[in-house]
Amino acid sequence: MTPAHTPHTRSYRPARMYARLAGGAPAPAHGRSEGRPANGERRGGRGPRGRAQARRPRSMTNPPLQHRDTVANPDIAVIPPVTDPDVVRVIPLGGVEEVGKNMLAVETADDILIFDAGFQFVSEENDAPGINYILPNTQYLEQNRDKIRGLVITHGHLDHIGGIPFLMERLGNPPIYTRYLTSLMILKRQEEFPHLPKVNMHLVEPGQRIKLGTTYIKPFPVTHSIPDSMGISVETKYGNIVISGDLKLDHEDGVPSKTEQEVWGTIGKDNNILFIADSTNAEKTGFSIPEMRVHTNIEEIIRSVKGRLIIGTFASQFARMTHIIAICEKLGKKVVTEGRSIKTNIEIAQKAGILTVQKDTIIPVQEIDNYPADRIVVISTGAQGEEFAALMRIATKQHKFIALGERDTIMLSSSVIPGNELSVQKLKDNLYRRGAQIIHYRSSDVHSTGHGNSGELVWMNHQVHPRFFMPAYGYHSMIRCHAYAVEEAGFPKENIIIADNGLVVDIKNGTELNIHKEKAPTEIMMVDGFTVGMRQEVVIRDRQSLAQDGMFVIIATLNIKTGKLRKSPDIISRGFVYLRESQALLSEARTLIKRTVEKSTENMQPINLDFVKDQLTDTVTGFLLQRTNKTPMVIPVLIGI
């Protein structure tokens, strides 16, 4: 272990400039118009945003990430620095207004510790066409970069590790502290960004006491849908801050296992001043389905199915995949893995020592027809209905080696991520059209969540018995339900902190709570191609306009002395109207363009082309709206001769 770390400051590369369309002239009115180089392949367009199919990796020839520097921002509220050794500060920077982009900062007078650095996939609610990922805002951390002592990662899901390649340079490349499997997943992902500096990785295990700067942390094991998940106790002068990470309880009929009781009983012996806990499933009462029940049901299905069995699941379900492979080996069945993320994670599981596979258990998909159907089990990505994932290609008869028949059974061993309902329904419809039978989590217990229900969360809260409590990791409704549950169980309402992203919470002497009126910056940060920075409203607005109503480009040549057009203007339309079927509209538009140009240049010397462009943009936009009820992006290009 390296106990302390003095980060160095990096100079950021200048942000990429967006090319102007009109020959370098100022943009027309309404923020028109900026463009950017084409992105790489997107994750199935604006479709489902499940875990199974992330962006394709960047190639070795991709340019380095560019950062729009955000440190020197005069609009940021001045937050008083932590100088009192009796004060500890907590700031959730992401993950308390959404599921995703998790990041939490704990600050003392000497140190800042960062917990998790995830991203969030772009969804319809974000309405940001062309954007790859959304990141937590790190401006507060960048301003205090000299105090950062380390980045602690609780587990290997993308909503906790996905932001690492994009944020590490901004944070001064601090050392990363995490468990072995998580480290392998981080390092595997870093291979997609070969231009970045190597991460400084430190492996930790539960039971250790690790020093970061002047602050000690103690990891403890938690149950989640991925191995090597951990929570963290942060030791402060007046007590511990306990951070749960994502978790559930290993239990049997609502009775926590002996291991859970020992882990949480040990945590409860400490003086805990604050508990920050997962709220993702707080809206559900009671206890979640234990994973062992799922394993039992899947084993019975594998034993009894008569034809081929194709199992769609999340690639991050390591325990489930290893159990499926072990059962297949016991029953003499062959396993085919379909989907890059599943193949990658099985390799990582083998390297981490949590999976040992016999030599001939996993076979190439090309050999699938060499064995009887009832000896084949396929583990596949695509249970969320992703357009280009393996399961959807099988369902739509686009898979080169797997053709479904009536004897095939499909098991969807995953829940439906909110927003993917229509995509999953289309997947099921296509599977049924092929004659296959479907088993899913609503018809049988073949999937269990990785997040505890409210009964589990209340039990954990009782064990920790903190002075203050902050529900986290979820939408506001989930956080409220978590707060209500622990309050009904007897926790003092006045000691519950309902946080938004950027809330600055100071605890003095372990007993005095001070919530600042100033907040840390929370404006959305985005990954846009090879650029990382704040949401560029003009660019996003232009993309929204293009996506909805297309573009209408006017190219006109005029006499720079008289203001008269030298010929009829050319019109280029994309995504607006089909030109061959809109000749009358275009004829009227050309007449309007000619009249507008000549009227706006009347008695003007010298002729101001920027003024003429603005007039054209407003006039033509109004005309097209009146005639078509659409507002395409109008881009006038004027050539003065």
For the annotated catalytic residues, the residue numbers are: 278, 451
CB 65 within 8 A of CB 14: no
Phi, psi of 276, deg, nearest 5: -110, 115
- At 299, which helix (H) or strand (E)? helix 291-304
Token readout for 569 is 């203007």
d(CA 263, CA 38): 50
* Residues contacting residue 494 through CB under 8 Å, at least 6 positions apart: none
> What's the rounded Cα separation, in Å, for the pair 34 and 26?
11
Task: Please give the helix or strand (H or E) that residue 105 lies within, else none.
Answer: strand 103-107
Q: CA quadruple 94, 98, 101, 103: dihedral positive or negative?
A: positive
Query: 3-class SS at 613?
Result: helix
CA distances from 454 to 155, 213, 263, 480, 493 (A): 22, 36, 19, 11, 17
β-sheet with 309-313: strand ranges across: 334-338, 376-380, 309-313, 409-413, 437-440
Give the chain's radius of gyration (CA, Å): 28
Which residues in 458-479 are b (16+ Cβ under 10 Å) and which e? bbbbebbebbbbbbbbbbeebb
Give dist(CA 184, CA 316) in Å, integer: 13
User: Which DSSP string corresponds to 213-237?
Assistant: TTEEEEEEE-B-SSTT-EEEEEEET
Instruction: State phi, psi for 291 to the nearest 5 degrees.
Output: -60, -30
Phi and psi of 453, rounded to 5°? -75, 175
Q: Residue 156 has which token pair?
A: 């290997």
Residue with tokens 């991050």: 316
